[in-house]
Chains A and B, each alone.
Chain A
Amino acid sequence: MPSAAYLLSRLLQIVPTFLLVMVFIFLFVRLLPGDPAIAMAEAKASDQQLAEIRERMGLNEPLAVQFGYFVKNTVTGDLGRSILMKRPVAEVILERLPVTVYLSLYAVALSVLVAAPLALFAATRANGPADIAIRGLFQVGLSMPVFYIGLVLLTVLGAKLRLFPVGGYGRSFIDNLYHLALPALSIALYTSAILMRNLRASLVEVLDSEFVQFARAKGLPRRIVLTRHVLRNALVSAVTLLGLSIGNLMSGTLVTETVFAVPGVGRLMLEAIFARDYPLIQGLTLTFAVIVSLTFLATDIVQSWLDPRLRQA
């Protein structure tokens, strides 16, 4: 296992990332034309409402102090009021977030389920007809945009064959496996294509390495050679890739959730952008940043668990 020192040092590395994100968001609102308070308020806001917002953001103080207010408000969960929803931003986001997290994890799980067996199958038959066919097929998947795949799935599996609902969100965990199948699949097809390629390449490399040849020469059963020697080594780069693709996946939810009418933070972000709901945009940006950073952290921890060479802090 990774040492406590490693975990601590890795956790501390997140702090500057968050600070930087906050600086960006802080400056963004202040770069908009006019008073930041006007940007953060409804169009028809009264002078009294504007005064309240100025007070909360400390707009009459120097910039450094304003930033202090901003950090304090953010850390205590006060992200302002959504213009669109007329409710506190934090409340709206917390309500929608589980949907997107569910959808993302569902998509990741599907990608791994599709990519891993195919990669193993292709890698153990490297350059054979099956390998070439699988790679060709995935190449096609990679060259199509996510929303297009989504629309095709929607039309064929949803509208024509009526296998899955074309949109919406279910009531329970199990229900959602069914409800979110199409959006998850449309994201997963793309992610799994990248994952398959990468995993196949590292599998081919590890299968050819001398310690694997040695393990075989020793007469170790095939299954143990694959799990103990091959998979563990090939997984490291796949895990990195998967972690990195979470960022992509999050921005992919903007489109996918809109196409499939899934009430998650992706669609919320798009709505907020169209409505110029700055408090909500700000809150969502922060949320995305937190999720991506936490994913990277998790990736690093899993990686250092898989690869002892990375364990030194």
Chain B
Amino acid sequence: MSAEPILSVSGLSVRFSKPRPLAHQLLGHPRQEVRALNGIDLAVARGETLGIVGESGCGKSTLARCLAGLVTPTEGEIRFRGERLADLRGKDRRAYNRRVQLIFQDPYSSLNPRMTVGDMLSEALTVHRMRSGSGVDERIGELFELVRLPQDARDKYPHEFSGGQRQRIAIARALAVEPECLIADELVSALDVSVQAQVVNLMLDLQDRLGLTVLFVAHDLRLVRHVSHRVAVIYLGSVVEIGPSETVFSAPRHPYSQALLAAAPTLEVKEGRKTPALSGELPSPLAIPPGCPFHIRCPYAAERCRREKPALLPHGGGLAACHFAEEIAAGTQPVRKAEPQPA
């Protein structure tokens, strides 16, 4: 990546302590920790779209929430144009809240059911003092045009719209404050397939026109390939592979990426390569395995994988965190026999 990153993340970890029932607290059961993110390193360049993929529960939403400032990381830092988010105070912090906007997955719970669309947008505009007086009305009109909503949407409530329209409202609300970076957490996965394309294309079009940087979080690989310049594959809170979209999709280096692609029915997997589909359960983030987090499910796992966590290193056109990335690509890494794993 040549351009200076606008948003970067290093060593980002988030641990949630699982709420314990009172009885457990009294009995002195230890506090359990959910390790949602385990040392994520990422950087996004201005105007770039970075796709973030991974199974459900791997920490994608937690990453999105950290970037939006909703979750405070346990370790690591987030930098926006080189400045640490944790150091931003007062006016600077408010500016960050404006420049980086999050769009939630669920267009039903992310809009206040008791507010008209006009009120939502004007709240966003006035809180950041983007416009005042008649400027607010004018800007709301512009936003409706931008996201292709009818002007009479202003006085309606969220329940009067379809899922696709609601997601447009969420986009309009995010765009109201003229952000530089949009974080779209599963932007369309709650929508019917027939409207997914419309909403995604709208977002791409807006990105082009407004020069936005986009973090596109999704579990639909096809969609991510379609929209992203680069893709990061996340497994149990760690980045296991990151690289240009075409490279990752046509020649994935990490066994987990390979398995994800093999599991995606709509993606063509290269002929001749025998990629075993993803087997076994995703381990609980309460008990992340030592060594390579993927070794329990990895068909190529060797002794070293159980002891040593692989670093994210250049392989092929991108980076992958696998001890045997080269051997696997060359076809020399032995495939382990499918054995029932000890629980």
- Residues on A lying within 8 angstroms of B by beta carbon are 127, 132, 209-211, 213-220, 228-229, 232-233, 306-309
Contact = CB atoms under 8 A, between A and B. Distances in A.
Closest 9 CB pairs of A and B: A210-B110, A219-B97, A308-B157, A211-B112, A210-B104, A309-B159, A210-B109, A232-B114, A219-B94
A228 B115 CA distance: 9
B340 interface: no
Nearest to A232: B114
Nearest to A132: B22
A306 B70 CA distance: 28
B89 to A, nearest CB: 12
Contacts of A213: 65, 70, 104
A213 B104 CA distance: 10
Given A214-B104, A308-B114, A309-B157, A219 B109 contact: no
Contacts of B112: 211, 215, 228-229, 233
Contacts of B127: 218-220
Interface string B171-188: 001000100000000000
Contacts of A209: 109
A216 B114 contact: no
A312 B228 CA distance: 43
Interface string B135-166: 00000000000000000000001010000000
A219 B19 CA distance: 27
Nearest to B177: A218
B128 A219 contact: yes
Interface string B52-69: 000000000000010011
A217 B110 contact: no
Nearest to B108: A210
A211 B110 contact: yes
21 contacts: A127-B19, A211-B109, A213-B65, A213-B104, A214-B110, A214-B173, A215-B112, A217-B69, A217-B97, A217-B102, A219-B97, A219-B98, A220-B123, A220-B127, A228-B115, A228-B123, A233-B114, A306-B114, A308-B113, A308-B114, A308-B157
B69 A307 contact: no
A218 B109 contact: no
B111 interface: yes
Contacts of A308: 113-114, 157, 159
A216 B71 CA distance: 11
A307 B19 CA distance: 32
A140 to B, nearest CB: 15
A213 B94 CA distance: 15
Given A211-B111, A216-B70, 5 more contacts: A132-B22, A214-B102, A229-B112, A308-B157, A309-B159
Contacts of A218: 97, 124, 127-128, 177
Contacts of B69: 217
Given A219-B97, A308-B159, A210 B19 contact: no
A127 B69 CA distance: 23
A209 B123 CA distance: 18
Give the one of B68, B113, B114, B177 with max A CB within 10 A: B114
Size bin of chain B's contact surface: 20 to 34
B123 A309 contact: no
A219 B93 contact: yes
B220 interface: no
B106 interface: yes
B36 to A, nearest CB: 16
A218 B123 CA distance: 10
Given A210-B106, A309-B113, A217 B157 contact: no
Nearest to A209: B109
A215 B115 CA distance: 12
Contacts of A309: 113, 157, 159
Interface in B17-44: 19, 22
Contacts of A233: 112-114
A308 B159 CA distance: 9
Contacts of B109: 209-211
Nearest to B93: A219
A209 B110 CA distance: 7
A214 B110 CA distance: 7
Nearest to A212: B112
Nearest to A310: B159
Interface in B110-130: 110-115, 123-124, 127-128
Give the one of A214, A219, A232, A306 with max B CB within 10 A: A214
A218 B112 CA distance: 14
A300 to B, nearest CB: 16
Interface string B82-113: 00000000000110011000101010011111
Given A217-B70, A219-B128, A220-B123, A307 B114 contact: yes
A228 B159 CA distance: 18
A216 B70 CA distance: 8
Nearest to B20: A127
Contact of B113 (A127, A132, A214, A307): A307
